[in-house]
Structure 1
Amino acid sequence: MAGALFLGLDVGTSGVKAILVREDGEVAASALTPLTLSTPQPGWAEQDPDAWWQATIASIRQLRAEMPDARIVSVGISGQMHSSVFLDRAGEVIRPALLWCDGRTTEQCAEITRRAGGEDRLRDWVRNPALEGFTLPKVLWLRQREPEAYSRLATVLLAKDFIRYRLTGALATEPSDASGTLMYDPANLRWSDDILNAVGVPRALLPEVGGSSEVLGTVTADAARLTGLDAGTPVVGGGADNACGAAGVGVVTPGEAVASWGTSGTVLAPTAQPLVDPGLRAHTFCHVVPGVWYLMGVVLSAAGAFNWYHQQLARELDESGASRRALDAEAASVPPGAEGVTFLPYLQGERTPHRDASARGAFVGLSLAHTRAHLTRAVLEGVCFALRDSVAILQELGLSPHSLLLTGGGAKSPFLQRLQAEVFGLPVGTVNREEGPAYGAALLAAVGAGAFPDMAAAVRSTLTRIPGDTPSPSSHAAYDEAYARFRALYPALKGVAGAN
């Protein structure tokens, strides 16, 4: 396939990214079109799916302008998990999408658990608890709070699947994203009639499920005119952003693990079986590789927490890399534990391990002796401690990785790489590509086009591991007291300042 290029799209919360990847794995071009987030009420988070589509068009056309003669042979799409797209019978958007970080559905989660007969039944049916971020509670919220809109509902799609629908006219999804709806059984690879019947949601609202590297549609003439892609270009199933992000750094086989800093943060470990956390603190989802699942802990505010801190308390610094380095230097000037300052990064609630959409952030331990440098270090440590909670759960369940690959914002800063190694007590590393979920989506497109026989071969041909920091026992132990402080704060503050 000499000269072939594979298009990877990622429909993120902050923007739509598009990249063109050559068969040897080199990124030929990249484009990003930003998106805005709407918060109509505290704890709510919405976006217009048609804004995703317009941003997708803009990103693809930017690539086309940069490489007008590019031969794009296939397309893969990744996207934010759980976010609900409600379509009418004409395929038009009924209302803005409720996003993965939207916390309005606590009442509906309780109803789902009650109707299912308890969490043990949910564990059997869908391998996960009812959480506000998942899709099914959003469907029930629409039915109860906006009945006129629900009466028009014909199809529920996820973010990346909506973009495929606009590109190809095909209503479809794949297992990695379906797993995060609370309507799909990851162990048996099918929509769960048990949960759908329990809550009275028709199966007809849900699309068919294909493979992540399977061609699920081709670019229509109308989409070709809008984007500059060739009509008939195949579009594969793609995958959820976390699964594609893991694939994009080569974490596709059991025994490995990856820590990711996006707006949210995750720790993800592939498994050969659909392992379920008995406490349902971590999620069990399908990977983009057939016959592989993963266990994942989620921190709802990772880079999102740091960006909030930057904008609100370090506003005089611009958004450039230089300002990030300046904040890293501030943090590095303070000893581990930030001399008693602790930050809880629960600015949008929390998933792992607390499963509490109403949890809130806090700085604790401040004195007149503390400076912004202490706050900066406390924010970064707080996110690392929250991710360490997920690492501890994996270890408790027998998934004890010997090292962690880093991706996203946590992989870009040498200081933050070292901080994670010391907090986790594990060697960390990176890979030679840092394009996030869009890169994993492009590799899926390459597999779907026949450039590689499977994802394992694609990873071997395109990615190289780069060793990073290995912590000493003493450097890891330096965080024990601060981590114990962190773990004690959530139960101490529960019910205070909005947390309940």
Structure 2
Amino acid sequence: MSPNARSTPGLAWIGIDLGTSGCRAVAIDETGRELASARVSLAEPLSPAPGYYEQDPELWWHAVLDTLTQLGAALTDREPAAVCLDATSATLLLATPDGDPCGPALMYNDRRAVAESALIDRVAPPESPARGPSSSLAKLMHSSGRYRHTGPARALHQADWIIGRLTGHLGVSDWNNALKLGYDAERLRWPDWVQALIPEGVGLPQVVAPGHPIALIDPMLADRLGWPSTVQVLAGTTDSTAAVIAAGAVKPGDAVTCLGSTLVLKILSERPVTASACGIYSHRFGDAWLAGGASNSGGAVLRRYFSDAEIVSLSLGIDPEHPSGLDYYPLLGPGERFPRNDPDLAPRLSPRPSEPQAFLHGLLEGIARIEAEGYARLAELGAPPPRRVTSIGGGAANPTWTAMREHLLGVPVMNAEHQDAAYGVALLALRHSAR
């Protein structure tokens, strides 16, 4: 090669994870190796009244731009090939056809749409994920009445709106984000009962598979970021689904347990599993389904009684093969949703031993039993039993707890090499973009 010749730069595939407290982006190469990452914090959503949680969508956009600018500066010898994005499930806003928000976005945990939820309950199938005041559909109906729009408006999830800003191509969603808006991911259509509830002048998004190419990046944005105009932007997914992709679940029976503040179970199934009363529903996941549920138990209970350092040090002296002799159901307060649907279920945390190590043993064992009961409950409803469990979240780093859980579950339990949702959507970009 002559001294003046320039080598063709390598390519990078970028995943963006947009949450409530920050935006993170990861770039990977063609082998899945992480090349660079960046993160920008977000102000907490506003809560103007109990059960109300809202945020200005423009904050998301500025966070995404700042994150991509940081990431691009680190990719000195790589050109972005494709971008994919995940965001919080059931965070929704109304926007004009040009993408201008009609009002604040209602966040995933906003519960103000009680009256609208009652209207949905009259016509929705009993197992529909669109039921409940936190559903995207209830938020759409509420927002249409509260945030007046003089012309047509679009219902857009958090991921949908950002993808629209990246491309200038608004009005596209994906199987996973659209689930709580009432989309039928089995038949791949909007049901008639959903169409009948949509207020006049509000358009539902077109729904495509996660990873489906939507459009090339907006040329002005590409110029601003210093990227080629050939960068593809792909349909996204929800944050929890992206984390499962990152963890490496690929076959039915592959399960992922998130040991965070709460205990979240996900398992790949050949068919959808739904039990709305227990908060169990399924995301379409390629040719399979990702079924799951979330318990109110989890790491938040542990942190009520122990610091992170205490959990680490005390766990070292616990024999995971030896039962604690305690029958705990660890909860912060009354009420459980999965694997038991009992709003009045009381925490069971007695008797309490005088030795802190023995108490921690009982707590860890109690949460592990809830995990085992959760997978058994999913299997009762039609999911396969887990063939292996991959752990993500803060609790995954505790080897004593891992061994305890493996003993109770009777299958291999391992820590995920990657558990970042941004890494998961970067993989989605790599797998689905044209090279």
Equivalent residue runs for 1:149-160 within 5 Å: 149=148, 154-160=153-159
- 1: CA distance between counterparts of 2:201 and 2:273? 26
- 1: CA distance between counterparts of 2:261 and 2:433? 31
Once the two structures are superposed, what CA deviation does each residue of 1:53-106 show, in whole Å capped at 9, x if it has no partner?
222222222222222332111111112111112223442223332222333344
- 1: CA distance between counterparts of 2:314 and 2:66? 38
1:15 to 19, 22, 41: 22
- 1: CA distance between counterparts of 2:347 and 2:163? 40
SS at match of 2:177: helix
1:415 to 400, 403, 423: 400
- 1: CA distance between counterparts of 2:267 and 2:431? 22
Q: 1:190 deviation in Å?
A: 1.4
1:24 to 22, 27, 31: 31
More helix by share: 1
SS at match of 2:31: coil
C-alpha change, 1:430 and 1:40, in structure 2 (3 Å) is: same
Corresponding residue of 1:283: 281
C-alpha change, 1:360 and 1:237, in structure 2 (3 Å) is: farther
- 2: CA distance between counterparts of 1:428 and 1:11? 28
The one-letter code matched in structure 2 to 1:75 is V
SS at match of 1:177: coil
- 1: CA distance between counterparts of 2:120 and 2:195? 10
Equivalent residue runs for 1:188-227 within 5 Å: 188-197=187-196, 199-201=197-199, 204-227=202-225
C-alpha change, 1:387 and 1:234, in structure 2 (3 Å) is: same
Is 1:436 aligned to residue 420 of structure 2? Answer: yes
Corresponding residue of 1:471: none
Equivalent residue runs for 1:354-433 within 5 Å: 364-365=349-350, 370=354, 384=368, 386-398=370-382, 399-431=384-416, 433=417
Report how many aligned residue pairs link the two structures.
422
Corresponding residue of 1:178: 178
- 2: CA distance between counterparts of 1:268 and 1:275? 11
Corresponding residue of 1:58: 66
- 2: CA distance between counterparts of 1:377 and 1:102? 35
C-alpha change, 1:379 and 1:106, in structure 2 (3 Å) is: farther
Once the two structures are superposed, what CA deviation does each residue of 1:142-172 show, in whole Å capped at 9, x if it has no partner?
345xx24466771121222222112111221
The one-letter code matched in structure 2 to 1:443 is L
- 2: CA distance between counterparts of 1:426 and 1:88? 51
SS at match of 2:161: helix
Equivalent residue runs for 1:49-448 within 5 Å: 49-116=57-124, 121-123=125-127, 127-128=128-129, 130-143=131-144, 147-149=146-148, 154-171=153-170, 172-181=172-181, 183-197=182-196, 199-201=197-199, 204-262=202-260, 265-277=263-275, 281-287=279-285, 289=286, 291-299=287-295, 302=298, 305=300, 310=303, 324-330=308-314, 342-345=329-332, 351-353=337-339, 364-365=349-350, 370=354, 384=368, 386-398=370-382, 399-431=384-416, 433-448=417-432
SS at match of 2:102: coil
1:48 to 31, 56, 79: 56
SS at match of 1:284: strand
The one-letter code matched in structure 2 to 1:407 is I
Once the two structures are superposed, what CA deviation does each residue of 1:29-61 show, in whole Å capped at 9, x if it has no partner?
122223343333344433332222222222222
- 2: CA distance between counterparts of 1:98 and 1:115? 23
C-alpha change, 1:379 and 1:194, in structure 2 (3 Å) is: same
TM-score norm. by structure 2 comes to 0.83
Corresponding residue of 1:449: 433
The one-letter code matched in structure 2 to 1:136 is L
- 2: CA distance between counterparts of 1:337 and 1:46? 44
C-alpha change, 1:184 and 1:344, in structure 2 (3 Å) is: same
C-alpha change, 1:366 and 1:274, in structure 2 (3 Å) is: closer
Q: 1:110 deviation in Å?
A: 3.0
- 1: CA distance between counterparts of 2:324 and 2:394? 21
Q: 1:256 deviation in Å?
A: 1.9
Once the two structures are superposed, what CA deviation does each residue of 1:203-252 show, in whole Å capped at 9, x if it has no partner?
95221122322211221133335544433411111222222222222213
Q: Which runs of 5+ in 1 are unaligned?
A: 318-323, 452-500
SS at match of 2:108: coil
C-alpha change, 1:167 and 1:281, in structure 2 (3 Å) is: closer
SS at match of 1:104: coil
- 2: CA distance between counterparts of 1:373 and 1:133? 39
TM-score norm. by structure 1 comes to 0.73
- 1: CA distance between counterparts of 2:115 and 2:135? 13
The one-letter code matched in structure 1 to 2:95 is L
Q: 1:253 deviation in Å?
A: 2.6
SS at match of 1:176: coil
Asked if structure 2 preserves the Cα contact closer than 8 Å seen for 1:29 and 1:63, the reply is yes
RMSD value over aligned CA atoms?
A: 3.5
Asked if structure 1 preserves the Cα contact closer than 8 Å seen for 2:20 and 2:42, the reply is yes
C-alpha change, 1:109 and 1:219, in structure 2 (3 Å) is: same
C-alpha change, 1:436 and 1:148, in structure 2 (3 Å) is: closer
SS at match of 1:344: coil
